[in-house]
């Protein structure tokens, strides 16, 4: 699900077959239509606002999984019978502990086996993080920032 072409195009490049731009009840209805009314096996909700979580609950199928990655931008989310328990949905996730993977992944990046540049649209020329790069991500002008030493 997405409304920003740079992100949805990247999703298609990585194997997405359908893109749903609608939000809320319209978005949920479209996903359910695409899945024959069943919903999705897995939903990734990445650092979203509460409406993103509500859509995740709306599109996940019975017995499915919602994985929340990163720190959500809201305090409360229902997990009771009407939202997750009744559908036997697994809720998992965490604050994206990227440092836990750096020893394994950084050598793959440095020797060319892993190419993170496809998800980055705003290079940062030093190890500092200029305010412009954060603003560009917040304004949806860039997907992520690739920091080059």
Q: How confident is the model at residue 8 (pLDDT cuts 50, 70, 90)?
A: confident
pLDDT tens, residue by residue, 45-54? 987 788 999 9
Domain ranges of the chain: 5-94, 98-147
**Spatial contact of 28 and 1, defined as CB atoms under 8 Å apart:** no
d(CA 43, CA 31): 11
**Lowest-confidence range among 65-69, 90-94, 106-110, 140-144?**
140-144
Sign, CA dihedral 118-123-125-131, equals negative
For the domain with range 5-94, which CATH number is right: 3.90.870.10, 1.10.3720.10, 3.40.640.10, 3.40.50.720?
Answer: 3.40.50.720
Report the percent of the chain where pLDDT is more than 70. Answer: 79
**How many angstroms separate the CA atoms of 59 and 63, rounded?**
12
Cβ neighbours of 90 (radius 10 Å): 12
3-state secondary structure of 21: coil
* pTM of the entire predicted model: 0.72
Half-sphere exposure of residue 102, counting CA atoms within 13 Å on the CB side?
A: 5
């Amino acid at each position: 699900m997405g409304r920003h072409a740079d992100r949805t195009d990247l999703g298609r490049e990585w194997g997405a077959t359908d893109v749903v731009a609608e939000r809320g009840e319209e978005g949920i209805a479209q996903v359910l239509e695409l899945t024959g009314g069943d919903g999705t096996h897995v939903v990734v909700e990445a650092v979203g606002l509460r409406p993103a979580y509500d859509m995740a609950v709306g599109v996940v199928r019975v017995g499915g999984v919602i994985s929340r990655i990163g720190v959500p931008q809201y305090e409360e989310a229902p997990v009771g019978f009407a939202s997750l328990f009744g559908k036997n949905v697994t809720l998992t996730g965490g604050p994206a502990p990227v440092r836990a993977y750096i020893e394994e992944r950084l050598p793959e990046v440095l020797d060319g086996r892993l190419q993170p540049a496809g998800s980055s649209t705003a290079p940062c020329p030093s190890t500092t993080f200029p305010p412009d790069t954060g603003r560009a991500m917040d304004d949806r002008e860039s997907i992520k920032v690739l920091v080059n030493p």
